Amino acid sequence: GQQLNQSPQSMFIQEGEDVSMNCTSSSIFNTWLWYKQDPGEGPVLLIALYKAGELTSNGRLTAQFGITRKDSFLNISASIPSDVGIYFCAGPPGQTGANNLFFGTGTRLTVIP
């Protein structure tokens, strides 16, 4: 079955440091979405990517659609305490007609002030 593996599983960083995380798939994705989930809340969309090689920014966040279409990367620059949460990659499964998003295993980020 489809698998989206995220790395690292968790990170502990000092405030002000940059963060990098990635997501790899066992199959090709045509869209990559990055979500952030705060404790006790639903995921919130951060960035959407639609083309292999695409680099998209949203404030301090930058995400890239890997050229193999089997991976994606998210970078956070100059982290702040409110960046704490779980970051998920997601995308529609490869089969046509599917109407759902498949989510990765998540990267838990802790920012130490």
What letter represents residue 100's amino acid? Answer: N
If one counts every other C-beta atom within 10 angstroms of the C-beta of residue 82, the result is 8
Contact between 4 and other proteins (CB under 8 A)? yes
Out of 63, 76, 102, 109, name the contact with other proteins by CB under 8 A: 102
Query: Residue 95 interacts with other proteins (CB under 8 A)?
Result: no
Binding-residue total with other proteins (CB under 8 A): 24
**Cβ proximity to other proteins, 49 vs 111, nearer residue:** 49
Amino acid at 96: T
Mask for 21-60, x = binds other proteins (CB under 8 A): ----------x-x-x----xxxxxx--x-x----------
CA dist 77 → 11, 28, 30, 51, 113 (Å):
14, 28, 26, 23, 15
Q: At which residue do the structure tokens 């002030």 appear?
A: 113
